[in-house]
Amino acid sequence: MIKSDAVRRSSRWALALMVALAVVHPGCGKSNAGPEVFSDSRTVAVLDNFGVVFTAQRNGTVDVDVNWTNSANDIDIYVASGTCATLDILLGGGCNVIAFSESATAKPETLTFPASNGTVYTVWAFNLGPGSDTVTTRLTAR
């Protein structure tokens, strides 16, 4: 009888300890890190572009949002896995394109693609004009 009372008391104590630890350390055992966000802005001439190279820090998805000032302009976006040296190489088939958005009317231009931890990606913004513009590329990795 004494032994079973001791076991009951120690079980209650262990349960109380687990609850206390869960309250003090709610993220124990999993990552509570929020999304990673990267943004870059450039002035881009007609038929010019700029690329953003980044390495994914987790498995998940990346939301790409490319916005610009003049709604008359058409900006397209392309994503390649790996480092893609130039947009010309990408458009010529020399890079592994994994996502793109070429809407003539969308503003902002957006897309989402799956990302793998440790993989390098290149995101290109291409200004088809009719004028120069300030273009902002925003990447949100989740």
pLDDT of 33 reads 72
Structure tokens that stand for 75 in this block: 């900006």
What's the whole-number mean pLDDT along residues 24-45? 73
Cα separation of 62 and 134, whole Å? Answer: 22
pLDDT tens-place string over residues 109-122: 999 999 999 999 99
Q: Which CATH class for the 36-141 domain?
A: mainly beta
**Where is average pLDDT lowest: 27-31, 49-53, 70-74, 126-130?**
27-31
What's the whole-number mean pLDDT along residues 86-97? 92
What's the whole-number mean pLDDT along residues 28-42? 76
Higher pLDDT, 34 or 126: 126
pLDDT of 31 reads 53
Residue 32 pLDDT > 90, yes or no?
A: no
What's the whole-number mean pLDDT along residues 67-81? 96
Q: Residue ranges per domain, the chain?
A: 1-31, 36-141
- Pair 125, 75: CB distance under 8 Å: yes
Residue 73 pLDDT > 60, yes or no?
A: yes
